[in-house]
Structure 1
Amino acid sequence: MKDILQDREERYNTILDLISKYQLPVVCGKINYPGNHKNTVEALKVFEVLQQLLTSRYTADSVFTEILSGADGKSLLIVTKLTTLEAKQAAIHIESNHPLGRVFDIDVYKEDGTSIGRGDIGLESRRCILCNEDARVCMRVKNHSLEEIIDGVNKLIRKHCF
């Protein structure tokens, strides 16, 4: 777990460096994969799908892209000329309309280094992949075991990637 937290911190510092260098929003796409093993065959396969979607959507407006790999899995960073709101709306469109969108985690960071959340633009929180309740509430009250969540995520990924 320590490695995952360190990897997240390093990724965030890279995002801050990119914002400082380009003075533009940064899109960060990664996989919302449960547990401490973020580099499973399933997670890596679904990241390929996400990478293709993000590259396709943001390439025309990007000035820099980079793929990071670490204990928290792979992530794709894209510095974009889009406004923060335009970038977030595109991210939400992908997360909401793709069959694997439930496991995509696409964050958009503003020029001040903070991310824009769904609530910031008047949208509801993401839903639990298993029961469709508010995902944050589900996690907090532990409605499902880690094994159940991993199994559900893997079934979804296998259905669309293998």
Structure 2
Amino acid sequence: MSKYTIEDLLLAKEERVNFQYELIDKYKLPIVSMRVNYPGINKDNELSRKIAEIIKNELISKFKENIVYKDYKNTAEGPVFTLVLKNIAEEIKRKTVDVEEHHLLGRCVDIDVYDAQGNGLSRTSLGLPSRKCFLCEDKAQNCGRSRKHNIEDVVGFIENKYNEYMLQHNI
């Protein structure tokens, strides 16, 4: 696992977005993009990879009949899992929100859904509440943008959730 710079993060994000548009252009179907909510610049690490693998398998299980294409990469943004699905984008979003809200590690990931035109689907567009911060229950977007919490607290939450998952599954 490499050490990355902020420039690497920005380039990886640009490459991910371009890749998503290429997939939408090629398949003309909705896509799912999953990344781990790992703070700081070193997002590609052993913990983020383990969490990504678990949620990747959950998504494959949830959408197995609808998968047209899947891709997994470790990047400066951390692990990125992408799916192209034969399904209605709104249905996909509802199922991914269910993973984010009810899977033990769901709060540790961002699962974005884009329709066949490349438009991102938000929770609020489906009448669902905004995502809450896992430390203080404010809107996650507010805490992320303002850097309200220190990195150690966020990493601690993620580590605790992962350890809890491992205990529950006797791993």
TM-score by length of 1: 0.93
2:139 equivalent to 1:124: no
2:156 to 141, 144, 151: 151
**29, 43, 49: which is aligned to 2:48?**
43
- Equivalent in the alignment of 2:87: 82
1:54 alignment partner in structure 2: 59
In the alignment, is residue 63 of structure 1 matched against residue 60 of structure 2?
no
Partner of 1:99: 104
Output the aligned Cα RMSD: 1.4
Say if 1:35 and 1:150, in contact at 8 Å, map to a contact too: no
Number of aligned residue pairs: 162
Whole-angstrom distance in 2 between the partners of 1:124 and 1:69: 30
Residue range with higher mean Cα deviation, 16-25 or 126-135: 126-135
Structure 1: runs of 5+ lacking an equivalent: none
* 1-structure distance, mates of 2:35, 2:102: 17
1:2 CA displacement = 1.3
- For 1:115, which of 115, 120, 125 is the aligned residue? 120
| 1:8 aligned onto 2:19 | no
Deviation at 1:84, TM superposition (A): 0.6
List 4+ stretches of structure 1 deviating above 6 A: none
Task: Calculate percent identity across the aligned residue pairs.
Answer: 33
| Secondary structure class of the residue paired with 1:68 | strand
Shift of 1:141: 4.1
Q: 1:33 to 1:61 in 2, by over 3 A?
A: same
Residues 3 and 71, structure 1, Cα contact 8 Å, conserved in 2: yes
Length-normalised TM-score, structure 2 = 0.88
Shift in CA distance, 81/36, structure 1 to aligned 2, threshold 3 Å = same
3-state SS of paired residue (1:15): helix
